[in-house]
Structure 1
Amino acid sequence: MEQGTTSNSVPAAEPIDKSRILDIKPMRCLVPVFPSANGMSASGAPQPSPFACVPPSGPFPPGVAPFYPFLAPNDSGRRTEQTPFGFTQPISPVPLNSFRTPMSNGDTGRTRRTTRIVVEDDGYSDQSDQFDFSVHVNDVEDTSTARKRGRPSRKTRRHAQQGEPHAEVDYEPILHGFLESFKLTEIDMFKKADGDKDLVGRILLVYDLFRRKMTQIEEMKDPSPGSARRPDLKSGTMLMTKGVRTNQTKRVGNVPGIEVGDIFFFRMELCVVGLHSPSMAGIDYMSVKLSTDDEPIAVSIVSSGGYDDEGDDGDVLIYTGQGGVQRRDGQMFDQKLERGNLALEKSLHRANEVRVIRGVKDTWTTGKIYVYDGLYKIQESWAEKNKSGCNVFKYKLVRIPGQPEAYALWKSIQQWKDGISSRTGVILPDLTSGAESQPVSLVNDVDDEKGPAYFTYISTLKNPKPCEMPSPSFSCHCHGGCQPGDSNCSCIQGNGGFLPYNALGVLLTYKALVHECGPSCPCPPNCRNRLSQAGLKVRLEVFKTKNRGWGLRSWDPIRGGCFICEYAGEVIDASRSDEFGIDSEDNYIFDASRNYQPLEKVPADNDDSAKVPFPLVISAKNNGNVARFMNHSCSPNVFWQPVVREGHNGAFYHIAFFAIRHIPPMQELTFDYGMVRSDKTEQMRKKCLCGSLNCRGYFY
């Protein structure tokens, strides 16, 4: 068809004078127009919305599809359909809150970091739909962000100003070593989307070990107090980027592999095991197709003090919805019935179960400990003004009966500590008679037995014998205490250039031998490198078990890697085994020469990863401490670590016990007694009653 033969043709354009200088002002911003409920724009007079801003996680209007990385593919690579109420829905492969969400700044339209954040003590916010991940990551994200902009990162500039060389650490090999050790490769993970207790435990252990190793490395690079480091966020992000997570499908009800009462010290731990998928937001919800439309329903909430929640009653929680804040400039915003708030309202009418995670104050830090308190149902909701004058939504959740105690147990323990109520079955308020800085209760609420056989309580080794070290001993000169990054500290050099413990008393990496400061070192008793010498840090109790004699447990929650106690007793020669009853039924013996199942090592520590048994035998039959009451388990939550304290008179070995993983209050503390190297194994074999899934059926 020739040009100009139809009315739809385009007229010929006039010639352009390229010599003219055009005065064109750039468009400074685009202000998005959000569609209202009636389909009109929310910017002024009724008119059709020019476009709709769809949240990346949906719901999506007709004609709009989800996009990567917010699309969670199933095995066939296609998008999983929305599922009916009560079933499951895939979770995004990367936490939504790790992405920045631009916000409109009034009429200017500039994007900025929002100030609408209620920051909790642990640095997280319950209303993080508008959360900027880089606010909390700081130097972790600053390096990559600056590199993209073509300028040095803040951390690089700081090191340059200090005249120090800046060395980037490649954490990928370290993480890969952990994943291989614990059989958590990407292929294995994608084959099993839903977890079990074993898989959940392995993922949490890898996360914690990797986070602790990263903490140790970052602290050595920049030991200055207050320097911004968030290895908890970075390690969790790296794991989930590799697909190392479980229970990736959202569901109503309990999550496989997680028990009521389990505790978590970081919000990222909730994400990697699928208990609560948003890394920041307090309400987790999913969409279900109940009719022609999709409706959101809540699956879990985190109540951790960001709002005025009321939860003194162990079975009732008054939860405040998302939003409704007073900004620093004085502007106030009411909560809206949308997203998480709408999901809670729908769950009220649908009467579905909601998982509740309670945040309780950590006495050792300014952060929180997260306790899975089980399933609740929303009983009623209403609106009221909060302390700032904002209109907020309130939801009353009531705990479903018949579940194990969790948050209520924490409240009871606190009342014991405060003297408000007394512990049932107490025989002695302090078994140690003041020998420890923390009292140890002796409790029997099972039968009429009045206590174990008499012994003398001592807090450390009796008659220790010095051992020769392969290299001569050098005492440190740290009068104020050993500090991370001090290359002149001989004790740090003995530990491979790192301090083995953090300031909370957590062992950062597993080694064949930890070198602590000895009697010749001038550092004070509270030096970080004298951890096992400072006595008990948690409140323990010796209690009567139902079928395994006396056992040991803690009133306090225990972090993974946290020091618990040393094994105190009398050091004996193996040749005197008959005298001390090593082969008898009622002995209290620790034998370091046994074969023990080693914990997986950090790849950087492979030079001494094999724990070589050494001839240290300790009898606690007549003289001992709380460690003598720790029972055997084939799936223990405690492991022992050899510690050496060097001095001018030689080196002295000690045995220190640390938590393998996070241990909730009142959970029995157990370790693996190991396998004997003797021709008397058959006579020494005892029936194991640990009850774990991996029980061997016997121990020695």
Structure 2
Amino acid sequence: MEPDITNFDKLEVVDAKPLRCLPPGVSPFGGTHGVPSSNPQFPVQTPKVRVSKTPPPPDSANSKQSNGEKQQRPTKKVKISEEVRLLSLEGDRDSVSKVLMKFDALRRRIAQIEPDPMKRPDLKVGTIMMNNGLRTNTRKRIGSVAGVDVGDIFFFRIELCMVGLHTQTMAGIDYMNMVSEQVQQPVAVSIVSSGGYEDDDGDGKVLVYTGQGSNVSVDQKLEGGNLALERSLHRGNEVRVIRGVKNVEAQKSKVYIYDGLYKVEKWWTDKSKMGAAVFKYKLVRIPGQREAFTIWKSIQTWRDNIGCRPGLLLLDITSGAEKVPVSLINEIDGDKRTPRFIYFKGLKFSKTMEASVGCSCQGTCLPGSNCSCIQANGGETPHANGVLVIQKSVVHECGPSCSCYPDCSNQVSQNGLKVRLEVFKTKEKGWGLRSWDPIRAGTFICEYAGEVIDTADKGADLDDEYTFNATNAGDYSSEWNYVPELIEEENPVDLDEKIKPSSPIIISAKNMGNVARFMNHSCSPNVFWQLVLHGPNKNSFPHIMFYAIKHIPPMTELTYDYAKCGKKKQCFCGSANCRSYFGQE
């Protein structure tokens, strides 16, 4: 948390610093709700919308709770969203972020509708967006790509195409033709090294790349991409390198890391394991770039031996309360004092709460069924493949009062931490939180745990730095959600649902809490919070859950927007959109 510069006690800087809460009606993305940004330089043609009639209500005779009976949720007509006109042909960081956000939002929605991963929702969405001009950096180029930073991660090859980093969905070498001495020759602009051939990643700064061929048992030819890499050696041009590594969450898939600019130093021929002639290219990373792939290699070393992690103070601040350990790291100074608080995973109430009524389903609850929890979500499960599909005012998960508990798949945020986190000392903001694992957009990160404050208690401090107040949080940002017009859908009515809590939603992590208390503020956050109810009852006490706004690379600080809650403090987030201060007078 960021210290109060008007009253700063150096002796207390190592204490656990709290979250700020968002004030009612403020988007976790910043800006004004319902007013999407636009870019007049890129007037994209609006796709046609197929308007469907609102389905009739289900037969009351079939309204019993039983899995498998599909019911359509009501919809209402909407105007074409301006969000399909938000991009620029020549990218910048904002355009790249929006392309990737809209891509993954639509991919999550299609994965929700068609859960079979063999149908490749990523390729389907890529086709839809490209057909509608929703991409950026369309001009092929040598060197850096505007808006894409070294260290950025991608979960699908098509994402690389969407932002102009690597335009080949299958081929490992991307190249362009250039005229030299009145002769047109190919030069390489980017390569993807994903282990498909006999590549050697060296120390993370040198890559020995194997050329491409259609058949591993046949000699490779010096043509196409292979010739382009050979020509790049003589031309001395920069080549973008994207490295593919195994996804720790799904071993059959990969995560792609943009590792920056390299130059081809030499090439030679060799024999493959199959005995065929192959081309080898040695690429060396250009110095002075931020670390990327080497961070991944360091993390793997720490996984094998946590004792070699520099600055290690504690192996696990949760003392085994979480399934995944959370280490405490201080690489800033020699202070070995640790935060003072009781680690607690959930909510502690000062008075007994009435048990909510759950669904009566047996086994896992299915989309389209008459399950009361599913119906409270508009007839669909809120997650697809474990990630949140859309952000709205409230999400319903099956809870402890449900008959399906604890084996139901509709409980994504109730099973503790899934990513490997560490609490670390920052230079200017006290303690912070980051992950060893790559985090996909929509991934559940953690709950805001602590003591539920009773406003009737006159001694309760409702304005201390550890208090999270979400009482009137009924608004949400539509910017993170998919554009329904792109798949000829209409906005569902349940997005307009407003939560009316039976009591104020105020939680303090001052004396007890979990890792969420360490998340710092940023004016350009990568995390948002979402209210989640356990069960279909809208009057039960909601939980505050944190989800990833976008793909987050390992060792990137996890932050969200504190906005105008609490006392005014100077902001140290360092983002391009920094407001200089957060909080209010």
Alignment check: 8 A CA contact 1:314 1:407 kept: yes
Q: Which structure is higher in RCO with an 8 Å CA cutoff and minimum separation 6?
A: 2
Alignment check: 8 A CA contact 1:459 1:568 kept: yes
The reply on whether 1:205 has 2:85 as its aligned counterpart is: no
Alignment check: 8 A CA contact 1:232 1:266 kept: yes
Match for residue 287 of structure 1? 177
**Alpha-carbon distance change, 494 to 613 in structure 1, aligned in 2, over 3 angstroms:** closer
Question: Helix, strand or coil: the match of 1:334?
Answer: coil
CA distance in 1, matches of 2:559, 2:384: 24
Match of 2:471 among 593, 616, 640: 593
Match for residue 135 of structure 2? 245
Alignment check: 8 A CA contact 2:445 2:548 kept: yes
Note the alpha carbon deviations across 1:353-406, whole angstroms, 9 max, x for none: 100000000011111000000111111111112111221111111111111111
Note the alpha carbon deviations across 1:590-613, whole angstroms, 9 max, x for none: 110366773434553454347658
Pairs within 5 Å for 1:662-673: 662-673=551-562
The reply on whether 1:501 has 2:388 as its aligned counterpart is: no
Note the alpha carbon deviations across 1:299-351, whole angstroms, 9 max, x for none: 0000011111111420111111110525xxxxx42211111011000001111
Pair member with larger Rg: 1
Match for residue 359 of structure 2? 475
Question: Helix, strand or coil: the match of 2:200?
Answer: coil
Q: Output the TM-score relative to the length of structure 2.
A: 0.80
Match for residue 60 of structure 2? none
Decide which moves more: 281-290 or 513-522: 513-522
CA distance in 2, matches of 1:231, 1:394: 34
CA distance in 1, matches of 2:236, 2:537: 70
CA distance in 1, matches of 2:69, 2:532: 33
Pairs within 5 Å for 1:138-153: none
The reply on whether 1:218 has 2:101 as its aligned counterpart is: no
Match of 2:258 among 337, 355, 372: 372
Question: Helix, strand or coil: the match of 1:209?
Answer: helix
Equivalent position amino acid for 1:433 in 2: S
Question: Helix, strand or coil: the match of 1:529?
Answer: coil
Question: Helix, strand or coil: the match of 1:342?
Answer: helix
The reply on whether 1:583 has 2:583 as its aligned counterpart is: no
Match for residue 341 of structure 1? 226
Alignment check: 8 A CA contact 2:400 2:534 kept: yes
The reply on whether 1:538 has 2:422 as its aligned counterpart is: no
The reply on whether 1:522 has 2:424 as its aligned counterpart is: no
**Alpha-carbon distance change, 241 to 581 in structure 1, aligned in 2, over 3 angstroms:** same
Match for residue 203 of structure 2? 313
| Cα deviation, residue 421, structure 1 | 6.1
Match for residue 541 of structure 2? 652
Alignment check: 8 A CA contact 1:284 1:299 kept: yes
Match for residue 568 of structure 2? 685
Alignment check: 8 A CA contact 1:513 1:643 kept: yes
The reply on whether 1:455 has 2:341 as its aligned counterpart is: yes
| Cα deviation, residue 475, structure 1 | 1.0
| Cα deviation, residue 522, structure 1 | 2.8
CA distance in 2, matches of 1:672, 1:635: 7
The reply on whether 1:356 has 2:241 as its aligned counterpart is: yes
The reply on whether 1:608 has 2:495 as its aligned counterpart is: yes
Alignment check: 8 A CA contact 1:572 1:617 kept: yes
Match of 1:642 among 514, 531, 553: 531
Decide which moves more: 638-647 or 343-352: 638-647
| Cα deviation, residue 482, structure 1 | 2.5
Note the alpha carbon deviations across 1:134-159, whole angstroms, 9 max, x for none: xxxxxxxxxxxxxxxxxxxxxxxxxx
Alignment check: 8 A CA contact 1:379 1:396 kept: yes
CA distance in 2, matches of 1:533, 1:227: 24
Alignment check: 8 A CA contact 1:200 1:246 kept: yes
CA distance in 1, matches of 2:406, 2:200: 42
Pairs within 5 Å for 1:97-496: 180-181=82-83, 184-185=84-85, 189=87, 192-219=88-115, 228-323=118-213, 325-326=215-216, 332-365=217-250, 366-419=252-305, 422-463=308-349, 473-479=357-363, 481-483=364-366, 485=367, 487-496=369-378
**Alpha-carbon distance change, 337 to 476 in structure 1, aligned in 2, over 3 angstroms:** farther
Share of identical aligned residues, percent? 55
Question: Helix, strand or coil: the match of 2:348?
Answer: coil
CA distance in 2, matches of 1:166, 1:625: 39
Note the alpha carbon deviations across 1:197-225, whole angstroms, 9 max, x for none: 11111111010111101111123xxxxxx
| Cα deviation, residue 228, structure 1 | 2.9
**Alpha-carbon distance change, 663 to 606 in structure 1, aligned in 2, over 3 angstroms:** farther
Match for residue 14 of structure 1? none
Alignment check: 8 A CA contact 2:209 2:281 kept: yes
Q: 5+ unaligned residues in a row in structure 2: which ranges?
A: 1-40, 42-67, 72-76, 485-490
Alignment check: 8 A CA contact 1:473 1:650 kept: no
Question: Helix, strand or coil: the match of 1:228?
Answer: helix
